Chains A and B, each alone.
Chain A
Amino acid sequence: MLASFDSHLFWSALTSGPYWRGALTALELTAASLGTALVIGFFVALGALSPRRSVRSASWVYNWLFRATPTLLQLYFVWDVLPTWWSGFAGSWFTPFMAAWIALSLNEAAYLSEIIRSGLMSVDPGQELAGRALGMSHRRILQRIVVPQAIRIAIPPIGNEFITLLKLTSLASIISLHELLTAANQLTAAKFQYTEPLLAALVYYLVIVSILMIVQARLERKFTWKSRGRKGGVAAPGVPVMSSDAR
């Protein structure tokens, strides 16, 4: 296999416009879908924790519907079924990107809502009571006390979802979205080679995911407790002194 490796084809694929634009489209779609899914997922998670039974059931139905059906089916549904219900969806304004954004956001929100719910539940109920004792409103308690602590718990699994979502964008090639894997497939068809076009796409995915992992590590550090986040890594000198003083 390596004997017939065409390094020129590999490099020209790596630096080609379709690959570059495809990777950018994949990244844009991932970011847009994750952003939208975070908002929807947050409210679905709040709904699942609501004291009202009807709201809880609505959240449950949402999660059930979008987790029980394959992402590929959801993409086909948005692209090929919606236009038969309302012909407006066949218009040129409804781009493949938009369809993929809708399908992936709705799908991802279901998974994120469970992650956010576990984050919210990880915060000790006593903290909410303490907030109430200070006269804070429900919304303020959520904003100032619960969410900042929940984020800390939720970041690693959300990072995971970001990576999964990036790879799911490759499915959107079936609704004619020009993303990274489309570029690789077209090069395969033009050059009759699998190895070089697919390896080049693999390198792109590796690089993008590596960058995402660095961003995730930064975010995690930002939301960790200050004493652990200090530079140098050595135990903060003031702490033992303080504690012995306090004793």
Chain B
Amino acid sequence: MRRLVLSLALPVVAIAFFAASAFGRQAATFKWCTDPTFPPMEYTTTSGKIVGFDVDMATALAKTWGGTSSPSKTAFPGLIPALNAKKCDAVISGIFITPDRQKQAGVVSYMHTHRVLIVKAGNPKKIHSPNQLKGLVVAVQTGTKYEEYLKALKAKIGFTLQSYPGDNDAVAQVLLGRADAVLTQDTSFAFQAKQHPGKIAVGFTFAASDQFGVYFRKADAAALGQQIKDGIATLRSNGTLAKLATKYKIPVNTVK
């Protein structure tokens, strides 16, 4: 009986081993799309290298299944379309988990943060709530949920909305003095405040929290999707995410 079990189990183990190694080879390079204009989640160095929290996380994530990570640059509005056009295997770009995006792709959450309205230091226009944007100039990154929210708000209260290709382009408009506020994430503010000390402040923090997620194709849910799910769980439990959060000056409780 024992021999029978062994003789049955051996091929199963062998097949599983082969399948795993075959799969491992297939997913050796973990190719993911990102829009590196959202520091500290992802941004480019002066030499053009993509760096940030998401880059380090993707490297650690790929390592959990023995792969290497390779980010590929895509404009924010094109991230999910690029995933479904198979230009990359995943999207990691400080991108929210939303119901309409979940219709297009599978997702694993890894961080929850808050939206903020960034204003000039000292808040000269006294912006303490979204409704006080009335009649002002607001900058935002195009194709984002921030823009979608601001468009709806604009229709209600009326203000000038300017949409830019990158999150940092939008923040730059506040520094220039052209825009009165930028809607973005507290992670982005933490980074920008460090880059431009004493120049910007948070006017308002939204109570509801948003989740950043790693998106993958629905067709890959059983394979790569599961690997990502397990990988993120591992990185969370072994403290890698917390360590990375500390490295990028993001509050550690956001990755708990």
Contact = CB atoms under 8 A, between A and B. Distances in A.
Contacts of B172: 80
A188 B78 contact: yes
A182 B163 contact: yes
B162 interface: yes
A174 B164 contact: yes
A92 interface: yes
Contacts of B227: none
A226 B142 CA distance: 53
A192 B177 contact: no
Interface in A52-101: 80, 83-84, 87, 90-92, 96
A193 B81 CA distance: 6
**Which secondary structure characterizes the binding site on chain A?**
helix
B176 A188 contact: no
B1 interface: no
Interface string A168-200: 000001101010001001101110111000000
B139 to A, nearest CB: 7
A19 to B, nearest CB: 15
Contact of B80 (A90, A178, A185, A192): A192
B76 interface: yes
B143 A186 contact: yes
Contacts of B84: 192
A176 B78 contact: no
Interface in B137-153: 137, 139, 142-144, 147-148
Given A96-B162, A176-B164, A194-B81, A80 B142 contact: no
A182 B169 CA distance: 16
Contacts of B144: 189
A174 B165 CA distance: 6
Nearest to A176: B162
Q: What interface size band does chain B fall in?
A: 20 to 34
Interface string A35-55: 000000000000000000000
A194 B142 contact: no
Contacts of A182: 142, 163
A92 B143 contact: no
Given A92-B160, A174-B164, A176-B162, A189 B76 contact: yes
A54 to B, nearest CB: 37
Interface string A121-143: 00000000000000000000000
Contact of A176 (B75, B139, B143, B148): B139
Interface string B117-149: 000000000000000000001010011100110
A189 B142 contact: yes
Contacts of A91: 178
A192 B80 CA distance: 6
A97 B188 CA distance: 29
Contacts of B104: 192
A158 B202 CA distance: 50
Nearest to A95: B160
A90 B178 contact: yes
A92 B137 contact: yes
Interface of B: 75-78, 80-81, 84-85, 101, 104, 137, 139, 142-144, 147-148, 160, 162-165, 169, 172, 176-178
Interface of A: 80, 83-84, 87, 90-92, 96, 173-174, 176, 178, 182, 185-186, 188-190, 192-194
14 contacts: A80-B172, A80-B176, A84-B176, A90-B176, A90-B177, A92-B137, A173-B165, A178-B163, A186-B77, A186-B147, A188-B77, A189-B76, A189-B78, A192-B104
Across chains A and B, which 10 residue pairs bring their CB atoms closest together, nearest first? A189-B77, A189-B143, A176-B162, A90-B178, A90-B177, A192-B80, A192-B104, A83-B176, A185-B77, A194-B81
Given A182-B163, A188-B81, A194-B78, 15 more contacts: A83-B178, A92-B137, A92-B160, A174-B169, A176-B139, A176-B164, A185-B75, A185-B143, A186-B147, A188-B77, A189-B78, A189-B142, A189-B143, A192-B104, A194-B85
